[in-house]
Chains A and B, each alone.
Chain A
Amino acid sequence: METTQFDKTMMAVAFAEAGEHDTAKEMLKGGAKGKSAHAPVKSKPYFKALLFGAVSISCYVLLFSNERKVTDLCTLGGINTMYPVLMAFFFSFIHGAFASNLLGCLGLEAKK
């Protein structure tokens, strides 16, 4: 079975963690030829964060500039129950996307 670049890297990591730095370097020598040793740099989602942030803030401004109307609509009960539930869903989608992209911009990402 052919050893892939990923396998070689993982084996090198194992040796590097065990303090066998020379062995780790040896393992990576062949695979790095002709290729950049750097991993592709992931661009940060600034545009998405700004876009969702702007939409989210606009929604909050809209909500509080019409708070009386909105709260009245959400407290009618019956079929109108769908309004607070749908609004909660809508805000979580928009604001959740903003929050996710904001954390991405700040470089806060889950460990792979």
Chain B
Amino acid sequence: MKDVSVMFIGMTLTKLLSLLAIGAVGGLLSGFIGSGGAFVMTPAMMSLGVPGAVAVASNMCHKFPKAMVSAYKRWKYCQADIKLGLVMAATAIIGVQIGCMIQKYILQAFGGAGSNLYISAVFMVVLVFVGGYVFYDAYKLAKGGGEAVVGRLALRMQKINIPPMIHFKTANITISAWITIPIGVLTGILAATIAVGGFVGVPGMIYVLGVSAVVASATELIIAFVMGAWGSVQWGLSGLIDIRLSLLLLATSLIGVQLGALGTTYVKDYIIKVVMATTMLIVAVSRGVMVPGYLADVGLITPINADTLVLFERISYSSLLLALGSAALIIVVAMIKGMTADRRAKKTLAGVHHG
């Protein structure tokens, strides 16, 4: 039998409370935008002393049942399209295999520093490009009264008639399976590279397939569940899941995820996009400051002194916390506003009854 004390951290009260706090905010974010908890949970666990592989494995084991609970909640609110989720998940699993192959190739060819540089570069490109576009779109929507319209690209894609054409009832679209395949595969590749496939999956469903933000973020949870269950079995076979970490994250993230899911019923579509874009852009900064260090590691620039590297790491971690904090703040404020408006409307109606 293995001596787990070598691999797994000792649990102190501070670590326990930190894990509960990380779980709560990560869960809130996942329930609201369909993904996003993983990118901060893994580095946060690593900063508590958890080895990288154990952090990824334990995070994945907590993620899939959480995604299942959240997907069920949002399916009950008639937001999740199960058929679309399963079609996307099937292709995303292929993407995960491709992503793993790319990772292994880069690791063999350029070593750990090359791998870190590759992951950070993908993070930067995807987050700046997609996050910037989502932010611009949310800004346009907010100015136009908050009512979402199907984009031109999505309308063009829906007109492509290459069999098999699939109708997705909840998403209310009919589209060729050949359009969904690349989005699913890219989601999987991204999930295997930066652990957050939803950063491609959700915008892909919104802007390429023409699904509303609320349905896209709910459907992403089905994809996260399937991919998370598949990944957990893989990690479990290697014996790397620290179940204590998974269950501590679950303790608060299950509350956060349900709060986030019900929050979506009180806000307009563009608020989900604002949260998604804000998170993406701040995380891009967090990864961006780490790039000079990785460039120096692979010898592309002159070495950077140790103090500067420590400063970069601190900025990186602080921006992750800022991303989580600001997302949680936007969600909570939007929810409180939505709930207050709803209660006021109900009181007005009750007044009409009494009058």
Contacts and interface: CB of A to CB of B under 8 A. Distances in A.
B262 A108 contact: yes
Interface of B is mostly: helix
A78 B237 contact: yes
A25 B240 contact: no
A88 B246 CA distance: 8
A13 interface: yes
A46 B132 CA distance: 45
Interface size class of chain B, counting residues whose CB lies under 8 Å from the partner chain: 35 or more
Contacts of B242: 71, 74
Given A21-B352, A88-B246, A92-B254, A72 B241 contact: no
A75 B338 CA distance: 45
B266 interface: yes
Contacts of A28: 352-353
B61 A85 contact: yes
B4 interface: yes
Contacts of B261: 110
Contact of B62 (A9, A32, A75, A88): A88
Contact of A85 (B8, B233, B339, B348): B233
B151 interface: no
Contact of A95 (B8, B61, B64, B254): B254
Given A89-B65, A91-B250, A67 B244 contact: yes
A32 B345 CA distance: 19
B349 A95 contact: no
B354 to A, nearest CB: 6
A105 to B, nearest CB: 12
Contacts of B250: 88, 91-92, 95
Interface string A69-85: 01110111110111111
A18 interface: no
A80 B237 CA distance: 8
Interface size, A (range) = 35 or more
A83 B242 CA distance: 11
A39 to B, nearest CB: 8
B254 A81 contact: no
A21 B233 contact: no
A84 B1 contact: no
B28 to A, nearest CB: 12
A13 B348 CA distance: 9
State the main secondary structure of chain A at its contact with B: helix
A51 interface: no
A110 B26 CA distance: 20
B77 interface: yes
B247 A75 contact: no
Nearest to B65: A92
The residue among B62, B77, B355 with the most chain A CB atoms within 10 A of its own CB is B355
Given A25-B355, A77-B238, A96-B69, A63 B244 contact: yes
A71 B1 CA distance: 11
Contacts of A71: 4, 8, 242-244
B265 interface: yes
Nearest to B3: A72
A99 B266 CA distance: 19
B313 to A, nearest CB: 29
Contacts of A102: 255
Contact of B237 (A13, A77, A108): A77
